[in-house]
Structure 1
């Protein structure tokens, strides 16, 4: 089975279901002693440059969500980051995003990626849409099982 097609098809379905301008999937890349992520699957992008961006754990939207293992809602990018600080958030700058939600992607109890949904207008990413994004990610994407490790 070609999981590349599966990932791309699934994010396109998520984009349609949420009516997002963009859906992007960043996955952990092999790197010596570092956790780095790359936006590998994107639907609705206006720039191919985003696929070249390498994200460090803890840096940017995806890096922060990956490191913390918690979803993030940014209803208005202008309230989240100053215009002169947007270089720290390449997907916001390159894709001209004004409202985003992101959630960690889990596999076998570990965060292995980040799923981001965004809009090019502010306040369109709502708590309800973010919850839908989270629910869709928990049902599994591609080979990822969506299962967070639970401690009893």
Structure 2
């Protein structure tokens, strides 16, 4: 799926609304981009960003928050980045570093049988997003986000 394939849904407005409604510090949508026969993920829409570094982040399957969610097809929750990842491994998570995220969750977005995007929500303080609040957020989205499907409320 490319940007041209997306229906006329204002994803920027959608993520701005999510950030305001849930009081997240940061919300972003990464979409799969074809790149020389290998698919990569790039952050296409952001809200609450501190800088524009997200524009240079390109992730492959299994790398970074979006790449891991893309590969496993399940949501992930990091309640406290410092204890869940550790400072030595943070370089593998460029969006966390560039946006100084400390508590976050990410959901796979599906089109048919394929993950085609990742919705990331987060806070710049530890332990703000927990399992009950992340599950409540997922339930509030329902089974769709724009043109994409949300398959399950997972238990990370």
Measure the CA separation in 1 of the matches of 2:8 and 2:45: 8
Q: Over aligned residues, Cα RMSD in angstroms?
A: 2.0
Moved over 4 A (4+): 2-5
Tell me the equivalent position of 1:95: 99
Structure-to-structure mapping, 1:58-69, within 5 angstroms: 58-69=62-73
Tell me the equivalent position of 2:113: 109
Q: Would the aligned equivalents of 1:8 and 1:42 in 2 still touch at CA under 8 Å?
A: yes
Q: What per-residue deviation string (whole Å, max 9, x for no partner) do you get for residues 37-57 of structure 1?
A: 001000000011112100111
Structure 1, unpaired ranges of 5+? none
Q: 1:14 to 1:132 in 2, by over 3 A?
A: farther
Measure the CA separation in 1 of the matches of 2:92 and 2:56: 15
Q: Would the aligned equivalents of 1:102 and 1:115 in 2 still touch at CA under 8 Å?
A: yes
Measure the CA separation in 1 of the matches of 2:128 and 2:150: 28
Measure the CA separation in 2 of the matches of 1:56 and 1:138: 28
* Larger strand percent: 2
Structure 2, unpaired ranges of 5+? 1-5, 152-156
Measure the CA separation in 2 of the matches of 1:101 and 1:123: 11
Tell me whether 1:129 sits opposite 2:139 in the alignment. no
Tell me the equivalent position of 2:145: 141
2:84 to 72, 80, 91: 80
Measure the CA separation in 1 of the matches of 2:77 and 2:150: 21
1:47 to 27, 48, 51: 51
Q: How many residues align?
A: 147
Q: 1:147 to 1:141 in 2, by over 3 A?
A: closer
Q: 1:3 to 1:35 in 2, by over 3 A?
A: same
Q: Give how far 1:133 is off.
A: 3.6
SS in 1 for 2:88: helix
Measure the CA separation in 2 of the matches of 1:69 and 1:101: 13
Measure the CA separation in 1 of the matches of 2:134 and 2:70: 16
